Amino acid sequence: MGGSTLKDLIRGDLPLARVIFDDPRKRRLIPQLQRDGWPIFNLAGKRCAFPADLAAHARKATRSRPAHEPSTRRRNRQRRKREAEAASP
C-alpha cells in the first residue's frame, strides 16, 4: 500500500479492536480475524496491522455483493451474448 510506515503500525489486540470495531472490548475477536485472512501479522510477540490495509480489507469484506459474483455490467453483457447466440441460426 502507499505511504505506510512503521510509525503508522497498530500494535496489540486492544488498539486493533478499537480501529476495526470501534470497541476495545472486542479484542478477543482479533485472533479469529487473523485466522480468517485479515491483514494482521505478528511482530515481536504482538498482533499488528497497518491502518490502510485494515481499511481496504474491511471495505472488501463489507461489500454489498459476494466477491465471486460478477458485476451487473458484466452479467448483462454475458446475458446479451447468450441471447444473441441463441437467436442466430
What would the pLDDT profile of 34-80 be if each residue is shown by its tens digit?
Answer: 999 999 999 999 999 999 999 999 888 777 665 556 667 777 888 88
Mean pLDDT score, 1-28:
87
Check if the beta carbon of residue 54 is closer than 8 Å to that of residue 22.
Answer: no
Cell numbers found for residue 76: 448483462
One-letter amino acid for residue 79 of the chain: R
Strand residues in 1-89 grouped as ranges (E): 10-11, 41-43, 46-49
pLDDT of residue 16: 95
